[in-house]
Copies of this chain bind each other. A is one copy, B any other.
Amino acid sequence: MKTKAQHDEDTVEQGPLGTRERIVRTASRLMQRQGYEASGVKQISQEAGATLGSLYHFFPGGKQQLAAEAIRHGDREFADILGEMLDSRPDPAGAIDDCAVALAEGLHASAWLDGCPVTATALGAAGHLPDIQRAAAEAFQRWRELVYEKLRGAGIAEDEARELASTVISTLEGAEMAAQVARSEEPLRAAGRQLARLINSYR
């Protein structure tokens, strides 16, 4: 039998994280790539270096609870990146374009596997798993608000900024999906340039 410390040393990938965190991250990554239905709890626990017992200890709500937490993890992850990119330049148009390029390069680097962590999980479950849908809706809302604040800070009026921020997020999501399916950076790069043009038309 392994001690806890020995066990942690064996799971090379994710460092000194706790079991619960490893499970959430693994679930998020797997569902991002395969969707909700195709990601089994046994696969998740194995790749996380945990066991089924641990998984159900930390997530008594089962796969559904785990998926909701995985979405919230992806939400925070992308919100951090988006926030950083928006802060790195003063003009919102350039920042959004940078963001699209970064998404394109990241997607390409993952061999077109890692699309939006929320989309793939949420789409298959949107109709009949309310917890998961709610978590996804909250993620989109948070991202919209980040863009909204940036646009407001650049002097765009409330109503226009709200609608524009919503469209920026929708376009990035759609373009990421298009890029993934087409296995090409071009849809995302085009979207970035067009969004920049659209934003600049308000100034």
Contact = CB atoms under 8 A, between A and B. Distances in A.
Interface in A163-196: 163-164, 166-167, 169-175, 177-178, 180-183, 186-187, 190-191, 193-195
A113 interface: yes
A126 B182 CA distance: 10
Interface residues of A, number: 49
Contacts of A127: 33-34, 112-113
Instruction: Report copies per complex.
Output: 2
A120 to B, nearest CB: 5
A122 interface: yes
Closest 10 CB pairs of A and B: A174-B174, A35-B124, A37-B37, A173-B174, A170-B174, A170-B175, A167-B194, A163-B190, A171-B171, A37-B38
Contacts of A133: 181
A197 interface: yes
A201 interface: yes
A201 B194 CA distance: 11
Contacts of A166: 175, 178, 186-187, 190-191
A150 to B, nearest CB: 16
A29 to B, nearest CB: 12
A38 B129 CA distance: 13
A116 to B, nearest CB: 9
Contacts of A170: 171, 174-175, 177-178, 187, 190-191
A58 interface: no
Contacts of A190: 162-163, 166-167, 170
A187 B172 CA distance: 13
A162 to B, nearest CB: 8
B198 A126 contact: no
A178 B120 contact: no
A123 interface: yes
A45 interface: no
A142 to B, nearest CB: 12
